[in-house]
Amino acid sequence: MKVVIFAGGLGTRLMEETEARPKPMVEIGGKPMLWHIMKIYSHFGFNDFVVCLGYKSYMIKEYFFNYFLHNSDITIELKNNNVKVHKTDSEAFNITLVDTGLNTKTAGRLKRIEKYIQDDDFMLTYGDGVSDIDINQLVDFHREHNKIATVTAIQPEARFGGMELDENGEVKIFKEKPKGDGRWINGGFFVLKSKVFAYLNHPNIDEIMWEDMPLEKLSQDRELVAYKYTGFWKCMDALRDKIELENLWNTNQAKWKVWH
């Protein structure tokens, strides 16, 4: 089953990093966010990726084109340009890199990779979110419900802690960054049937977000089901998120590192 990853956006809320590189190429622990996401899927046996490129697409192409050399011990004989590889630490990834347009919105990006999807089912996620979700359980859930689309629903952590006070001002309950207010939001990690492309046949599909008309129509048709996940999930939406993820990695608390 193929895994489609959105990796073409501008990442304007992380401009400190994305002025120089695409958001999925921002590094956590010395590896791009995109690599971390692929490692999650690879751990569960899914190594066939289709990456939707846009902003600074050449950087993602160059990274994977030279991945083998960057992760090998090599001897270079400059006189005749011979290269000898001594040891490599590569991956089992099979990656199709597709230019889906600089300003194309997410529904248009998904439509543009349709020709690379041959199977009935495929997966889709964003290039800025990691989780310790069990991908195999997610796929099983999708097949059991037999809907066109399955979305992983998560409850985001609150930005600030909360307190419950009595009339005298004593703190009855103190919670540091509790879960949200009970609402569920789109956490990515979709599983889709190829029938979903029928929902992308709009003449202006390049100007439409996947999260708007297509998902709304799937919901109206009762073809969208949510896989509720309460484990670890984190989106790198701003610099503070990047710093938090980096700290988790450096202190061996990166729960998304399921490939130990």
Domains of the chain are 3-250 (3.90.550.10)
Query: What is the average pLDDT value for the chain, to the nearest integer?
Result: 91
pLDDT band at 183 (very low <50, low <70, confident <90, very high): confident
Rounded to an integer, what is the distance from CA 132 to the centroid of its chain?
12
pLDDT tens-digit series, residues 16-64: 777 888 999 999 999 999 999 999 999 999 999 999 999 999 999 999 9
**Residue of 94 and 170 predicted with greater confidence:** 94
User: Which position has the token pair 């099983």?
Assistant: 140
* SS3 of residue 201 by DSSP: coil
Residue 52 corresponds to which tokens in the numbers above? 């939707």
57's enclosing H/E stretch is: helix 57-65
Q: Which amino acid type is present at position 10?
A: L
What distance in Å separates the CA atoms of residue 170 and residue 30, rounded to the nearest whole number? Answer: 45
